[in-house]
Amino acid sequence: MRKKVIKFLSPIRKWLFGTLIMTVVLASATFLYFRSQIDHDLGANTEVVDSSQFQVISGNLAITDVSVLSVDSQTMIPNQIVLIKDNTIESISPEVVVPDEYHVIDGKGQFLIPGLVDSHVHVKKSKNDLLLYIANGVTQIGEMTGMEHHFEYLEQIKQGAIGPHMFIASPKLTSQQGMKPFLRSRFEKRHQNFLNPLEAREAVRNFKSVGYDAIKLSSDLDEDIYFAINDEAKKLNIPVIGHLPVGLQLSDLYLSGQSQLSHIDSIIQNLINEFGGLSSKNSEDFLTHVKQHAEQIAVKFKQNNIALASTVWLHRTRSNQDFDLTGFLKSIEFEFQNPGWIEGSIVSGGCLPGGNSYENQNNTKADDLRSWDIYYRAYNEAIEIMTRALVDQGVTLTAGTDALGACGMIAGFSLHNELETLNKIGLTNAQVLHAATLAPSKWMGSNSGKIEPGYRADLVLLKKNPLEDISYTRSINAVIANGKYLNRTQLDHILESVKDANNTSRKVNIDAYLN
């Protein structure tokens, strides 16, 4: 009888064992598939440019007969000699004997400004984007959804790789229910989900111990988790930055201890909720509401020392991406956008028609188009009103773009669009330069952002004076970053190399979207 039972059980054991093996294989295959999809979306499959091919000048430098931007960004001081030693500005003077061991750069007719800073970016998994920042004069960035490999990039730059200095915020903290946020936390790593205050507090402690520069918040945090994160971060003396959770008011922000808000439009969203919604029918009344409250809000931000990243150009592009996406893509340097981010993955629709999250996919009727046009105009005017109020009250405003966090925001290039937009909505050229140099540098706690002895020599040499026209920040003749001098020839070489790597790595042809 016992032998019969054993014979009967043997096939069952084999079936169970086979089922277990199959389950493990399927689970592993699913994991690898999701992992590969997400890595493609993050740019990990893009061919990496070999930066050793670029010829740089290292060592002590002397820039002679150059006009230098004053510390207050108000004037250009002519005929200066700037000495740079050990990646630090050694002296600035109209008359100085240049030591023999210094490499001399003739700055006659050119304009020296501090390296530009994009305070809100998402580098993801393609090191090519770091090259794009340098090629556009951006010598420092604020990474707003940090991952472990960003510390590897930062260390490589410190050891001599070409790239900007990096302020690295933690992965974005969320508190969503369901399988999607759980899987996103496990697979993508850029977002980490916590469902109770104790877990969130522990996460803050862990991120602090790893070395992140700040704690990044999502807009979907529960109220109790939001305040727990801010409380724990205050104990550890690490800044909390990012979004104000949906459902909370600006009064909650003022009390929380959060030290930075990621987008000026976050204020507008809060005002829209307070007003009861924005539509084409109430747009003028809403703008009156914004005007009535803008100064008071700005005063509160100043009193509570809350900084703001701008990202105003992104929101001005939303209507174009909504109803004329092809035209918008042709208007930007789309060939430099990372192929993975363009094409998307199983977790992201990408940036092309049919997948772009900003695109109108409902064949909106003409009447609705007119209504949406009024909506967008009011929305952007509200941002302009709020931005001017913030600047008037002396609130710390840092130029930021959401590069590679939103479609169309291309690493390096988008910052120049941001600066021109800030100028168009009322900031002076000097105020714009301040928001892109000293203000973000001070906010990040870095020893840069102004041309003064003792400061890090992150510098951009321009052919034209940006105090005359802010678009002249694009007239880059050379960049000095991390002790390396790259002239215009090498900067062009960088751009061509990234473009070639992108073309080699594409799975989807984008010729129809290039100008």
Could you tell me whether strands 476-481 and 459-462 are parallel, antiparallel, or unpaired per DSSP bridges? antiparallel
Q: Which two tokens stand for residue 94?
A: 């109209």
pLDDT score, position 4: 53
Q: What is the pTM of this model?
A: 0.93
The pLDDT value recorded for residue 329 is 96
- The pLDDT of residue 382: 97
User: Whole-angstrom Cα distance, residue 411 to residue 272?
Assistant: 30
- Note whether 217 and 175 are within 8 A (CB): no
- Residue 345's pLDDT is what? 83
Nearest to 114 by CA among 90, 92, 139, 133: 139
Structure tokens at 34: 């999701």
pLDDT at residue 266, rounded to an integer: 94
Between CA 263 and CA 408 the distance in angstroms is 17
Nearest to 106 by CA among 67, 63, 59: 63
In 243-344, which ranges are E strands? Answer: 260-261, 307-309
| pLDDT score at 91 | 96
- pLDDT of 372 reads 85
366 contacts: CB under 8 Å, gap ≥ 6: none
pLDDT at 24: 67
The alpha-carbon radius of gyration of the chain (Å, integer) is 25
Is the separation of the CB atoms in 175 and 200 below 8 Å? yes
pLDDT < 70 stretches in the chain: 1-18, 20, 23-25, 27-34, 177-189, 361-367
